[in-house]
Amino acid sequence: MALSESRRPDEVLVSGGGAKNLTLLQAIGKALPGSRVLTTEALGVPVGAKEAMAFAFLAFESISGRPGNVPSATGARKEVVLGSVTPSPHPR
């Protein structure tokens, strides 16, 4: 299913293993003519770091007591602080 010209993104950022696949990047560019296809490296974010950075962000939000979910995206009933912080039984 092709996107209409008015619904095409200006840019597509690719990360993860697929960002190293030139054939995949070219296919994305062909499927979305007029859209710039970049890897996250262009923004200074290593393509292999997406998951680690996402979990670090979510951990920071939890430690700060802020919700880490978006109900409109996840289908959750409300915003909640994710996870819990359990201190070590043997502090340094």
Per-residue pLDDT at 61 exceeds 70: yes
Answer yes or no: do 19 and 35 share one domain: yes
Angstrom distance (rounded) from CA 4 to CA 26 = 19
**Domain membership flag for residue 5:** no
Q: Are residues 53 and 79 in the same domain?
A: yes
Proportion of the chain above pLDDT 70, given as a percent: 95
pLDDT in tens, 6-43: 788 999 999 999 999 999 999 999 999 999 999 999 99
pLDDT of residue 57: 95
88 located within any domain: no
Q: How confident is the model at residue 2 (pLDDT cuts 50, 70, 90)?
A: low
Note whether residue 89 is domain-resident. no
Do residues 10 and 36 make contact, with C-beta atoms less than 8 angstroms apart? yes
Residue 28 in any domain: the answer is yes
How many independent structural domains does the chain possess?
Answer: 2
Q: Whole-angstrom Cα distance, residue 80 to residue 35? A: 35
Q: What is the domain extent for residue 61?
A: 49-83
Same domain, 37 and 57: no
